[in-house]
Each structure stands twice: as structure tokens, then as C-alpha cells.
Amino acid sequence: MALVATGGCNNATTRLRQNPTVAAALPPEIRQKIERGIIEPGFTPEMVYLALGRPTVPANADVALTRDGTWIYRDFNRNDRDFIRAGFRRRVVFDPVRRGDVIITEPVDPRLFPHLLEHSLHVTFREGRVVDIQRTTL
């Protein structure tokens, strides 16, 4: 099973540039997946970090020391202009009168907007390799 984390492409590219030694050692097909934010079983914690960034939980995850455990990414494919958190939707919209963006926060009934639910991604490691990837809706 492979998973695409949309929206992470630019960040993955930046992380690869910041780690040129690691990036140069990656096989081309793996590097392409990482650049597109794709992870799959068998990836190391370092590869997952390059593709998706630092996990939400544990917030202080040490990439070099992770062998076993689960990393959780919350709201990993969010749109920076529209996201859900704790039952509220925050939107950034352009106000033509002010000629600038304004932030609108409004309560959300998940029954009316099921596509706006917060998502999480659970990446489980055993012996320094990804063994399971689960995407859930909170």
C-alpha cells in the first residue's frame, strides 16, 4: 500500500535540498516518490520525514533514533486557506472592500460537511522500517 499526501510536494523538495547527502544516496524511484509526498512500507523514518515532514505525534520525534512506534500526522493534506479544527472551520477569503484577506471562523456540523473532516495518518515502524500506513477521519 502506498499513500499520497497531497500538498507536501514543495515541502518535500525543500527538505531534500536541506539534506543533499541523504538525497543523493536515494535510488531515483524512491526520490521521485518522496518528492511527491508518497510513502510506502519499507521506507525508513528518514524517508518518511523527507516526504511528509515532522509528525504531529510524537512532536519531538528523533528521526535518527526511531526504530519502533507510530508517527501520527494530523490534518496532513490541509489547505492553508481552509481547514477544520475542533468543530470549527477557518477560512481565508478576499474582502473586496478592505482589498485584502480576512479570516472567517465558523462552527461546522460534520453531518453537513463530511468532506471537511480532519484527517490523520498513522505510520507504524518496526525495526526501523514502515510496516503499516493507516489513514483515518477524526
Write the pLDDT tens digit of every residue in 34-45: 998 899 999 999
**What is the DSSP pairing of strand 88-95 with strand 100-107?**
antiparallel
- Residue 114: name the closest of 84, 74, 135 by CA: 84
pTM score of the predicted model = 0.66
pLDDT for 76: 54
39-89 pLDDT, tens digit per residue, is 999 999 999 999 988 888 887 788 888 999 999 887 655 555 555 555 666
CA 54 to chain centre: 8
CA dihedral 14, 15, 21, 25 (to 10 degrees): -100
Per domain, the residue ranges of the chain are 3-75+118-137, 82-115
Please report the pLDDT score of residue 42 as a whole number. 96
